[in-house]
Structure 1
Amino acid sequence: MSERQYTLVLTFIRDHLENIPDIVSKNTCVRLLIDTKNLSLADSLNLSDVMKIVDELNYRYYHNDNPKKLNLKNQDRKFLTALLDRMFQGDRCDICTCYEKKKLWNGFLHHIHYQPKNAEAEIFVRAMREKGNESVYSEFEQLMKENRHREATELLQEKKGTSALLRNIDYIFSRINREEVQTFLSEFPEDCSTLILLQLLFRYEGRQRKDGRIFKFTQHNLMKVHCETPEESERCQSRLTEEQVKEVGKMIRSRLAEKLRNRLGKVYIEPSMKNYALPLAENTSQGGLGVLSKGSRIPIDKGKKLRAFTYWEKVNDIDLSVFALTEDGNRREFSWRTMSRHQSGAITYSGDETSGYLGGSEYFDINLPEFKARYSEYRYLIFGDNVYSGKNFNECFCKAGYMLRDWDDSGQVYEPKTVKSAYLVNCESTFAYLFGIDLFTNEFVWLNVAKNSKSRVAGDTNLSFLTDYFHLTDVMNMYDFFSMMAEKLLKILWKQMWW
């Protein structure tokens, strides 16, 4: 849910509901539990979910995203103690799963000075504080070390589910021989979800990097990025060969096609749907008019100049920046720091606005043909927004978007009829990636990524991971997805009618 939707639900529950029904979304349930302090909400959760509650509380109330460093107030300690006591009164003490975060549990129990009140709580506390780890992953690891690979995979699938098994494919395949790999692929689990298959498809058919892996994950609706260091790359023992990656990708696509086959019957699919990416990772996105899923492409009309803009209030200085990237990640910065050297007919900057509390704006005008001629070595343009004043975007008002304008335009900074998209940037961060341009295909590409960052100046963070989004529609797009589900694709024949 969006923040507005969540606030509406929270207000309704506080004002009108005493007995709260089951909540399907665990994330929503956790937030409501924290905000209402209604312990009955925890009845649909397990003991292992308490660490998720602690993490959310620590972030929302204390602006701290490190659960290893807690400094909770007494009222929150009492709330969490009461929550644990309620958990131990029910049949939800999944100790085996809690072992997976044993160190966090140990620190948390010490921080709130937890004293067990029944036998089940006593057993759990002792298990978290003493040596030993009896988690499923620990047992799985031991079986793999003993070369009991089949038992290990069966254990992981039975105890943690097919999703956990598939997310460990790299590790499993790197430890078994070719014959065992073929056996695994031939017995590929039938109960895997469509979402997991799609995620794996992008993993194995997506662009394979040669400069080290990049790990992207989401926490608190913000993206975190970790680039593998040379030392980590050297220590990695679960890297698959190029042949194995292709083999796994081919198998996943085949399984996905089998799962989706003949769900729609006879359909017509508009060819332009090939430009639209599947909405698989939109929790870091921000909403507004004209916003599409990450990686979606929009052709840019010839003879138009593109004006990327940002407008803000309630903060002095927000900066709009552009970065030109090559395929291998080399970049050139166009921002308030560099534009005194780069102003030209190819790219023009409005200038740095530093006193926009009551309304400020910045924009870039891009002449794409001239830009490609002047900077021919670059493939992509990346546009980003950062709050130089240091506030998060959700503490001020900021919009971003783009216009396609005639070169002989009105001369006005803002022309409403030329706006193709305008959306609210409201993430709990000082940095957001807005959109990009593929200079080879002359297409506008949606990014819309809220990055977990306190950076006040653009260009201080790695940008090369963003080029992955420019290739999403090559792997799977909306046209391909619905084609897999169609019994038969129909073509529309247009006949000219004379009246």
Structure 2
Amino acid sequence: MVHPLESLVLRHTRRLPVPDGPAGRGEAAARQFDIALMSAGFKLSTELLERLSGLSGVTVAAIARRALDCVRAMVGDHVRHNPYFRDFPAGVPDTAEFWARCVRQALADDATREGTLAQLNAGAVDLLTLPAYGTPQHSYGDMLGAHEELIAAAGDRVTVLHAGGPAKDEVTALYLALAGSATPLGDDGLRDLRALARYCADGPQPEEIPVRENRAVLNAARIAAGREPLLDTVTDVLRLACALSGGDVTLTAPTRFRSLRRSERRALLAGLDAVVAAAPAKLADVLPYREPFKRLGERLHPHEYPRWPHAADVFAAARGDKQVRTLESRVEELLAAGDAAGAARLLTAAPGKLLRSLDHLLRACRGEDDREAVVAAAERVLPKVSGRVLLSVRDHLRHRTGESDRGRVFVNRRGHAHVAADTRAPLPPEDVRRLAAALDEETRRRLPEPGHLLIDPDILDVALPLSGKAATGGFGVLPRGSLSPVDGELLRFFVHWKQTARRTDYDLSALMLDADYTTDCWLSYTALTQFEGAHSGDITDAPDGASEFIDLRLGAVRGTFVVPLVNIYSGEGFEEAEESFFGFMLREAGQQGRPFEARTVRMKSELRGPGRVALPLVFLRGDDGRWRAKWLHVYLRGTPSANRVEDNRVTVAALVRGVVERDHLTVRHLTGLLAERAAATTLWDGTAVPDGPVTYIGLERPEGLHPDSVVVTPENLRALIPA
């Protein structure tokens, strides 16, 4: 029987759970499964093929159906990609010529002739009024018939699926890994954790749940299962209420609280009462969330439960009826009085806040004695701070010695980004060096002894995933700031969207920038061809889904940077559309094939952020002439409608410069610390792997690793972050 959560395991781990039976002769079905997978760029490992071959053909067929649906969706092959120009990338006309053709066709149509003539007499024609514009004039079958079969090439992507254990064990292991993550999950991760938590509520639980959002998801599942929630702050209770109402447990977006069942109200009020009774100072945590607590109070009716008086204090504090002094206000008083050392001493009661305030405290110091007190206070609390905060502060300090004049890039939790000048005074280099050494020593102390450390060099420039918000859901996606090689002659972007209720027009564009970040040219619906590049044509309505492509010959690009953008011209936002995703493919010259070929897809990223302009990544040419991708995962606010690459290119260039020129903390940093604890360290050359157990860190799990090996790939890269 196929487990209902098997697809989650496959997406997160590239492992396929294999049932113990019934035994049979499934060799033929397993080979057919492997061949079908190869068309999407996947393949069964040798071990997985052997294990499937020992099952019955019926069992293999059931596994194959679910797995094929899953992997095709992972790379965007679950929809029909039909470009406007049937022969794309061949046969794309000059932009002006194409528009003129659309006008001529409108003039030849009795239904549109009069209106088109009126527009021509007025001096401007609205493209959207032309019948031939915005909707493919051919069927999907016609498009397929116009393209030759893709020729296999050595550079085609092959993602190996490995053998997993019984589905129940794999699901439990995934649940424990996500629930106990040391870093916040993205929206997709939280959604998957919610599904897993409902299934695993009565099974093994993680020893620690360091991320509060994860705890909220688990607490909602515990209440549904009739168990007590795990609460130790008033904010935990607020997050739980959001989870029970289907809202945002990160507290970034407002939640509309539903009418709660009496048992849920009792659990929330009892939790608030217990937290405040045990530590009255925690009432101060209410103040940053006054409005949500007020709205929650209207649903909980605390006056009906006099046996929980401390819960009533929470809502009194939210309304302002009960005065509460926060730690932050006391710190600000000391800083206003010039007592940075006193502020640091006070913040030792909240180690995480002390480290996050280090920059502010050091700039507020009035002399060497104050700086010594602040640095010493930070050193004392390091053992009490999470590994994620240690690494975040380490990353921050690397850019605070005044050695660069680059601007500051601000990215909020939802991916909205902007750039501003850095007007802060630099920190003293000696303090930065001392703190960096202390942070590294504490991080090193927490890292495990890896034994034989085996490292794929291609992962060294991947940014550490200090937050799940630094990446989006999808396939082949890396955290913001990561660098990855781009090897191929032809680079093809694609965007696909399907509107929910109203006409929606997304426009795929590519901006080419010079070494100084000035605009060279662009490809878009207003510039269909440039320097051996081609745009597949503008589609303006997507009731059944629509796709646009841009094809580039990298050797012909004059500039240093290629920036793909997705602009919302009209209609639904990225979070309103039923589906929206971006990706890119790499091909060799002469491979032919359809506009979309799953096995050439290197990345597919969900578009689910704020704003009206999406920037998934930037391609940059290095001094060695090789192209690399640097991952952005950001959104610009844009305008409510008619966003175009021509209008936002200055803002895009400034943002790209801020991210490209920032040296992010990468896997290289942690592997360097790990290597100091390793029995041996080897850079893997892509051939044979050692016979014994290893700790492998790389972009993909190689075949043949010892079963007792610890494997870290981008899918579970958060496992590198120490607790």
So what's the TM-score if we normalise by structure 1? Answer: 0.75
- Partner SS, residue 290 of structure 2: helix
Distance in 1 (CA, whole Å) between partners of 2:263 and 2:520 is 51
1:181, distance to aligned residue in structure 2 (A): 1.6
Match of 2:274 in 1: 90
- Partner SS, residue 436 of structure 1: strand
1:356, distance to aligned residue in structure 2 (A): 4.0
Matches within 5 A, 1:358-377: 358-372=544-558, 375=559
Q: 1:280 to 1:356 in 2, by over 3 A?
A: same
Distance in 1 (CA, whole Å) between partners of 2:360 and 2:398 is 18
Match of 1:381 in 2: 562
Q: What letter is aligned with 1:215?
A: F
Q: What letter is aligned with 2:387?
A: T
Q: 1:477 to 1:10 in 2, by over 3 A?
A: closer
Residue pair 1:282, 1:294 contacting (<8 A) in 2 also: no
1:344, distance to aligned residue in structure 2 (A): 1.6
Matches within 5 A, 1:216-295: 216-218=411-413, 222-225=414-417, 227-228=419-420, 239-241=424-426, 244=428, 246-259=429-442, 260=444, 263-264=449-450, 267=453, 269-295=455-481
Distance in 2 (CA, whole Å) between partners of 1:350 and 1:133 is 60
1:200, distance to aligned residue in structure 2 (A): 1.6
> Of residues 458, 476, 485 in structure 1, which corresponds to 2:665?
476
* Aligned sequence identity (%): 19
1:305, distance to aligned residue in structure 2 (A): 2.1
Q: What letter is aligned with 1:404?
A: L
Distance in 1 (CA, whole Å) between partners of 2:241 and 2:644 is 32
Q: What letter is aligned with 1:168?
A: S
Residue pair 1:312, 1:318 contacting (<8 A) in 2 also: yes
1:167, distance to aligned residue in structure 2 (A): 0.6
Residue pair 1:392, 1:427 contacting (<8 A) in 2 also: yes
Q: 1:213 to 1:124 in 2, by over 3 A?
A: same
Match of 1:146 in 2: 337
Matches within 5 A, 1:99-498: 99-102=284-287, 104-105=289-290, 108-109=293-294, 112-113=297-298, 114-116=301-303, 117=306, 118-128=308-318, 129-130=320-321, 132-158=323-349, 160-161=350-351, 163-179=352-368, 180-185=370-375, 188-189=379-380, 190-191=382-383, 192-206=385-399, 210=405, 213-218=408-413, 222-225=414-417, 227-228=419-420, 239-241=424-426, 244=428, 246-259=429-442, 260=444, 263-264=449-450, 267=453, 269-301=455-487, 304-313=489-498, 317-325=505-513, 334=522, 336=524, 338-339=526-527, 343-372=529-558, 375=559, 379-386=560-567, 388-393=570-575, 395-410=577-592, 412-425=594-607, 432-441=614-623, 442-447=626-631, 449=633, 451=635, 457=643, 462-463=651-652, 464-471=654-661, 474-487=663-676, 490=681
Residue pair 2:234, 2:286 contacting (<8 A) in 1 also: no
Residue pair 1:306, 1:366 contacting (<8 A) in 2 also: yes
Q: Which has the larger radius of gyration?
A: 2
Between 126-135 and 167-176, the greater mean CA deviation after superposition: 126-135
Distance in 2 (CA, whole Å) between partners of 1:227 and 1:132 is 38
Match of 2:233 in 1: 46
1:197, distance to aligned residue in structure 2 (A): 2.5
- Partner SS, residue 479 of structure 2: coil
Q: 1:434 to 1:155 in 2, by over 3 A?
A: same
1:156, distance to aligned residue in structure 2 (A): 0.8
1:134, distance to aligned residue in structure 2 (A): 0.9
1:466, distance to aligned residue in structure 2 (A): 4.6
Q: What letter is aligned with 1:148?
A: D
Distance in 1 (CA, whole Å) between partners of 2:337 and 2:591 is 72
1:195, distance to aligned residue in structure 2 (A): 2.2
Residue pair 2:276, 2:282 contacting (<8 A) in 1 also: no
Q: What letter is aligned with 2:290?
A: W
Q: What letter is aligned with 1:135?
A: T
Residue pair 1:437, 1:445 contacting (<8 A) in 2 also: yes
Residue pair 1:435, 1:444 contacting (<8 A) in 2 also: no
So what's the TM-score if we normalise by structure 2? Answer: 0.54
Q: Which ranges in structure 1 are unaligned for 5 or more consecutive residues?
A: 495-499
Residue pair 1:319, 1:386 contacting (<8 A) in 2 also: yes
1:210, distance to aligned residue in structure 2 (A): 4.3
Residue deviations 1:38-78 (CA, integer Å, cap 9, x gap): 4855442422334445666788389x9654xx8655x2598
Distance in 1 (CA, whole Å) between partners of 2:658 and 2:246 is 29
- Partner SS, residue 435 of structure 1: strand
Residue deviations 1:124-143 (CA, integer Å, cap 9, x gap): 44444247441111122222
Count, aligned residues: 465
1:164, distance to aligned residue in structure 2 (A): 0.9
1:154, distance to aligned residue in structure 2 (A): 1.7
Between 314-323 and 431-440, the greater mean CA deviation after superposition: 314-323
Residue deviations 1:370-423 (CA, integer Å, cap 9, x gap): 322xx4xxx433223355430545742344322222334426323444333334
- Partner SS, residue 484 of structure 1: helix
Residue pair 1:393, 1:429 contacting (<8 A) in 2 also: no
Residue pair 1:312, 1:357 contacting (<8 A) in 2 also: no
Distance in 2 (CA, whole Å) between partners of 1:20 and 1:170 is 38
Residue pair 2:409, 2:659 contacting (<8 A) in 1 also: no
1:166, distance to aligned residue in structure 2 (A): 1.0
Q: 1:492 to 1:124 in 2, by over 3 A?
A: closer
1:446, distance to aligned residue in structure 2 (A): 4.5
Distance in 2 (CA, whole Å) between partners of 1:367 and 1:76 is 58
Q: 1:467 to 1:133 in 2, by over 3 A?
A: farther
Distance in 2 (CA, whole Å) between partners of 1:61 and 1:77 is 19
Q: What letter is aligned with 1:49?
A: D
- Partner SS, residue 174 of structure 1: helix
1:27, distance to aligned residue in structure 2 (A): 1.5
Q: 1:431 to 1:96 in 2, by over 3 A?
A: farther
Residue pair 2:375, 2:435 contacting (<8 A) in 1 also: no
Distance in 2 (CA, whole Å) between partners of 1:88 and 1:426 is 34
Residue pair 2:585, 2:602 contacting (<8 A) in 1 also: yes
Q: What letter is aligned with 1:443?
A: W
Q: 1:327 to 1:30 in 2, by over 3 A?
A: farther
